[in-house]
């Protein structure tokens, strides 16, 4: 039977097992919306701004591992989606973004609502397509999903001119696809793996450093097995939190700019660094010239271009994390050699000394709410088992430092691009994917206002997300830098003219709460969580002067932290 | 150091801009770039001349390989190879300079492919140095226009990219 291009798009999404599409209609995609109207298999979630659609799809993808799907119209629809596409790109999140385009014969004519979507998004996608023939829709979707979800994942944009969505053709979805120009490496090089295992076992001061790649590659089980066998210390990046249980004694905390003293000192002092699915981002390494001065480095990544990009490594291994870690484990089992117990014991002694620094201490007796108190209390009440999304700023770092993630895919934040406005729409995507789970969005009064309109989406779809607004009346992270590096000249970082967030939440049909005393934190959180089918906005009035510690100033090495 | 990177890529609209965009976005320099379809119309062959440290060249190769449109890639400068460039050059040719130009063209094994009362257009191929040398040898002649194709390259021996 012949189907229209629009119907074919729906059939492709069905064939890929897609249950939600996040989108916003407009002229160029009206045929596609008409096709949505006629079916119930794929549910369309109407956001209030296209940026929200991309972040929601992103949150869905991060929390499930399945690709998120976005549908927007041409021109402003596509440009509004750009921030969300870049956010997904920087964190390697699988996502399909369908952008409407003006009819084929108008392309290039500066037609109404025409932009070169393929050109605009080219540097922020894993790949993109402009479909020029209705017959190519099915194969393009197959390719798009294949590219987005395999290797190092990433967003793929499919730009579809309006006329094509009305034309008809036979529909057949390809059952498999091979692309001569794209086939990511799966298995690590055997010789390299053997050399790596030898190096790992010869270590006296080892450190395992893992990033978002372990979570994206679903390698957490293998990582835990590997790490426990060795008894080595492990640190996670901001993107990698939850890959290894934070409550485990081998975990030394997050590393990097706001990492723990023990993690950063351990990195600085180690003799063998085992980097897995991490990309040596500048927020992690600090000054490259001072990075891991005594370490031999093993780097495992599915993306060859990540290896030796910032830091020259000694043993590169390209492959999928699960495969490589399984090979490591086999290698450990096959050899007589064991980790060097006496060296390791000394190393742990050293790490424990660093731990005594208690770098995450803060004034727990404060009469003003400290942001850390709220996060710690969230952890206690939820037993560390909630899905936590965040925006960008101090609150994000506090959530990362104090929540203690024991499971992967629970910590959902924009690490690479650092996109304020991510938290709330991402929480919607997470909540849709996990209707019975608790989803909390940790935010600040500046960030939340960047995608605030999505409160309306939460109402429409009954998404009971809990918004934890750590309201310090400042763009706190900006203020902190100004305090440290600009002699307290607080240029434009004060948040003036704030709305009454309680009334605001109520006007959207949600529950609003105002909390300004430490002793009220627990009751407020418990009450909010008990409201299982309501979205709740808690406005916590926090200490304006609190800073995130430790901090590595720009240009400093990992051992040069500013401590509290 | 200068490197010549030869790339087979899908002959699709946008493929060229992906390569060019990669270079500008990551701050790599392109000295020259040539591209045309091959005997297989679905593929284009691109020759790209760039320079940088070994680390930068390694990154360039990896980043190019990562582009979904790139099928295959080789750094020709890693092994014996042949380089060629085509130049079309229009010079003033009047009075005694007419003979002079003709003589130089012969020495450089070029060809005069268009003639007017006052000008010659010369075609000449070779590696970049040879073309530079030819232009230099014309120092006393007035050059009206120079068009260079940019470098193309192929490896020596039977090994082929494809
Ligand atoms: C879209 C965007 N614009 C600007 C920034 C720069 N920026 C980083 S943190 C920050 C302040 C965030 O303030 P708030 O949301 O109140 O969080 P706090 O740091 O106070 O916890 C700003 C402006 C950004 N990350 N994203």
Contact A305 B59 (CB under 8 A): yes
Q: Report the C-alpha gap between A44 and A162 in whole angstroms.
A: 19
Q: In a mutagenesis test of the A interface, which of B19, B61, B68, B161 is the best target, namely the one with the most A β-carbons within 10 Å?
A: B68
Contact B66 A123 (CB under 8 A): no
Contact B69 A180 (CB under 8 A): no
- Encode chain A (564 residues) as per-residue pLDDT tens digits: 899 999 999 999 999 999 999 999 999 999 999 999 999 999 999 999 999 999 999 999 999 999 999 999 999 999 999 999 999 999 999 999 999 999 999 999 999 999 999 999 999 999 999 999 999 999 999 999 999 999 999 999 999 999 999 999 999 999 999 999 999 989 999 999 999 999 999 999 999 999 999 999 999 999 999 999 999 999 999 999 999 999 999 999 999 999 999 999 999 999 999 999 999 999 999 999 999 999 999 999 999 999 999 999 999 999 999 999 999 999 999 999 999 999 999 999 999 999 999 999 999 999 999 999 999 999 999 999 999 999 999 999 999 999 999 999 999 999 999 999 999 999 999 999 999 999 999 999 999 999 999 999 999 999 999 999 999 999 999 999 999 999 999 999 999 999 999 999 999 999 999 999 999 999 999 999 999 999 999 999 999 999 999 999 999 999 999 999
Ligand 1 geometric centre to CA of A369 (Å)? 20
Active site residue: A126, A142, A143, A162, which one? Answer: A162
Nearest CA to A17 out of A87, A64, A78 is that of A64
Q: Report the C-alpha gap between A174 and A456 in whole angstroms.
A: 39
Locate A414 and state its tokens.
Answer: 């924009």
Q: Does B27 touch chain A (CB under 8 A)?
A: no
Q: Does B14 touch chain A (CB under 8 A)?
A: yes
Residue B162: the pLDDT is 77
Residue A1: the pLDDT is 86
Contact B13 A130 (CB under 8 A): yes
Cα-trace Rg, chain B: 19
Q: Identify the residues whose C-beta falls under 6 Å from ligand 1.
A: A 391-395, 418-421, 444-447, 470, 472, 474-478
Residue A196 backbone phi and psi in degrees, to 5? -65, -45
| Residue A269 · residue A205 · CB < 8 Å | yes
Q: Report the C-alpha gap between B46 and B75 in whole angstroms.
A: 12
Q: Does A122 touch chain B (CB under 8 A)?
A: yes
Task: Compute the C-alpha angle A296/A298/A303, nearest 5°.
Answer: 140
Q: Report the C-alpha gap between A126 and B138 in whole angstroms.
A: 49
Cα nearest neighbour of A183 on chain B: B68
Tell me the chain A residues in contact with residue B10 when contact means C-beta distances shorter than 8 Å.
Answer: 181
What length does chain B have? 162
Q: Does A156 touch chain B (CB under 8 A)?
A: no
Q: Does B64 touch chain A (CB under 8 A)?
A: no
Cα nearest neighbour of B25 on chain A: A123
Task: Compute the C-alpha angle A444/A445/A451, nearest 5°.
Answer: 90
Is A540 part of the annotated catalytic residue set?
Answer: no
**What is the number of CB-based contacts under 8 A between chain A and chain B?**
37
Ligand 1 geometric centre to CA of B14 (Å)? 35
- What is the reported pTM? 0.97
What is A335-365 written as a DSSP string? -S----HHHHHHHHHHHHHHHHT-TT---TT
Residue B13: the pLDDT is 85
To the nearest whole percent, how much of chain B has pLDDT over 70? 100
Residue A563: the pLDDT is 96
- Name the strand (E) or helix (H) holding B4: strand B2-10
Query: Residues near A439 by Cβ (< 8 Å), separated by ≥ 6?
Result: A386, A387, A389, A427, A430, A431, A463, A464, A465, A466
B16-75 residue pLDDT tens: 999 999 999 999 999 999 999 999 999 999 999 999 999 999 999 999 999 999 999 999
Active site residue: A39, A43, A113, A350, which one? Answer: A113
B78-90 residue pLDDT tens: 999 999 999 999 9
Q: Does B9 touch chain A (CB under 8 A)?
A: yes
On average, the pLDDT of chain B sits at 96
Tell me the nearest-neighbour CA distance from A402 into chain B, angstroms: 36
Ligand 1 geometric centre to CA of A306 (Å)? 28
| Residue A213 · residue A321 · CB < 8 Å | yes
Cα nearest neighbour of B70 on chain A: A181
Q: Where are the alpha helices (DSSP H) in chain B?
A: 15-25, 54-66, 95-107, 128-137
Cα nearest neighbour of B63 on chain A: A305
Ligand 1 geometric centre to CA of A448 (Å)? 10
Active site residue: A11, A16, A50, A167, which one? Answer: A50
Q: Does A182 touch chain B (CB under 8 A)?
A: yes
Q: Which of A118, A179, A181 sits opposite B14 (nearest CB)?
A: A118
Q: In a mutagenesis test of the B interface, which of A104, A181, A306 is the best target, namely the one with the most B β-carbons within 10 Å?
A: A181
Tell me the nearest-neighbour CA distance from B56 into chain A, angstroms: 9
Note which residues in 303-362 of chain A have CB less than 8 A from chain B: 303-305, 307-309, 312
Nearest CA to A124 out of A158, A96, A89 is that of A89
Is A36 part of the annotated catalytic residue set?
Answer: no
Nearest CA to B43 out of B6, B8, B75, B7 is that of B8
Cα nearest neighbour of B7 on chain A: A181
| Residue A267 · residue A273 · CB < 8 Å | yes
Q: Does B69 touch chain A (CB under 8 A)?
A: yes
Q: Report the C-alpha gap between A108 and A100 in whole angstroms.
A: 15
């Amino acid at each position: 039977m012949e189907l229209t291009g629009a119907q074919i798009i729906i059939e492709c999404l069905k064939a890929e097992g897609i249950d939600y599409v996040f989108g916003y209609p407009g002229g160029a995609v009206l045929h596609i919306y008409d096709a949505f109207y006629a079916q119930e298999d794929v549910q369309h979630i109407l956001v209030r701004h296209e940026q929200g659609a991309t972040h929601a799809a992103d949150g869905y993808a991060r929390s499930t591992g399945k690709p998120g799907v976005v549908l927007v119209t041409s021109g402003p629809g596509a440009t509004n989606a750009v921030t969300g596409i870049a956010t997904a790109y920087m964190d390697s999140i699988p996502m399909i973004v369908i952008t409407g385009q003006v009819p084929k014969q108008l392309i290039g004519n500066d037609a109404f609502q025409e932009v070169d979507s393929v050109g605009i998004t080219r540097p922020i996608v894993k790949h993109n397509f402009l479909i020029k023939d209705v017959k190519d829709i099915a194969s393009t979707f197959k390719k798009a999903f294949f590219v987005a979800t395999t290797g190092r994942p990433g967003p793929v944009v499919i730009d579809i001119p309006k006329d094509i969505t009305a034309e008809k053709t036979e529909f057949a979805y390809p059952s498999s696809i091979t692309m001569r120009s794209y086939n990511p490496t799966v298995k690590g090089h055997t010789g390299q793996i053997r050399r790596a295992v030898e190096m790992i076992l010869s270590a006296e001061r080892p450190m395992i450093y893992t990033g978002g790649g372990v979570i994206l590659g679903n390698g957490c089980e293998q990582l835990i097995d590997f790490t426990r066998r060795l008894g080595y210390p492990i640190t996670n990046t901001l993107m990698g939190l939850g890959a290894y249980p934070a409550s485990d004694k081998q975990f030394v905390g997050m590393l990097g700019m706001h990492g723990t003293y023990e993690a950063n000192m351990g990195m600085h002092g180690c003799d063998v660094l085992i980097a897995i699915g991490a990309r040596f981002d500048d927020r992690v390494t600090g000054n490259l010239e001072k990075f891991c001065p005594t370490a031999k480095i093993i780097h495992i990544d599915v993306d060859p271009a990540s290896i030796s990009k910032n830091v020259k490594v000694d043993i590169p291994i390209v492959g999928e994390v699960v495969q490589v870690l399984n090979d490591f484990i086999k290698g450990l089992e096959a050899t007589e050699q064991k980790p060097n117990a006496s060296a390791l014991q000394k190393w742990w002694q050293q790490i424990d000394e660093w731990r005594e620094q208690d770098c995450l201490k803060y004034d727990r007796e404060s009469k003003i709410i400290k942001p850390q108190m709220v996060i710690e209390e969230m952890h206690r009440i939820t037993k560390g088992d909630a899905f936590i999304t965040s925006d960008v700023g101090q609150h994000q770092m506090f959530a990362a430092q104090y929540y203690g993630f024991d499971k992967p895919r629970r910590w959902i934040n924009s690490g690479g691009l650092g996109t304020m406005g991510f938290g709330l729409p991402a929480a919607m995507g997470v909540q849709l994917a996990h209707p019975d789970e608790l989803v909390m969005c940790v935010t600040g009064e500046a960030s939340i206002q960047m995608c605030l309109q999505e409160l309306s989406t939460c109402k429409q779809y009954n998404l009971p997300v809990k918004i934890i607004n750590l309201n310090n009346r400042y763009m706190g992270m900006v203020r902190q830098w100004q305090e440290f590096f600009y002699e307290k000249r607080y240029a434009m970082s004060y948040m003036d003219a704030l709305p009454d967030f309680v009334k605001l939440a109520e006007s959207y049909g949600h529950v609003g709460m105002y909390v300004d005393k430490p002793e009220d934190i627990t009751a407020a959180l418990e009450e909010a969580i008990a409201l299982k089918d309501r979205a709740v906005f808690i406005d916590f009035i926090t200490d304006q002067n609190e800073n995130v510690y430790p901090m590595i100033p720009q240009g400093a090495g990992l051992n040069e932290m500013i401590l509290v | 150091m200068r490197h010549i990177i030869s790339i087979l890529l899908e002959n699709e609209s946008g493929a060229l801009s992906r390569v060019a965009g990669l270079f500008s976005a990551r701050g790599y320099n392109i000295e020259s770039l040539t591209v045309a379809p091959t005997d297989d119309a679905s593929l284009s062959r691109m020759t790209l001349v760039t320079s940088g440290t070994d680390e930068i060249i390694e990154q360039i190769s990896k980043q190019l390989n990562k582009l979904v449109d790139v099928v295959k890639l080789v750094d020709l400068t890693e092994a014996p190879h042949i380089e060629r460039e085509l130049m079309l050059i229009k010079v003033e040719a009047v009075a005694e300079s007419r003979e002079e130009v003709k003589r130089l063209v012969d020495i450089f094994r070029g060809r005069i492919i268009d003639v007017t009362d006052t000008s010659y257009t010369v075609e000449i191929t070779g590696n970049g140095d040879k073309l530079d040398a030819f232009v230099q040898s014309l120092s006393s002649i007035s050059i009206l226009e120079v068009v260079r194709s940019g470098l193309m390259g192929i490896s020596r021996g039977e090994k082929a990219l494809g």
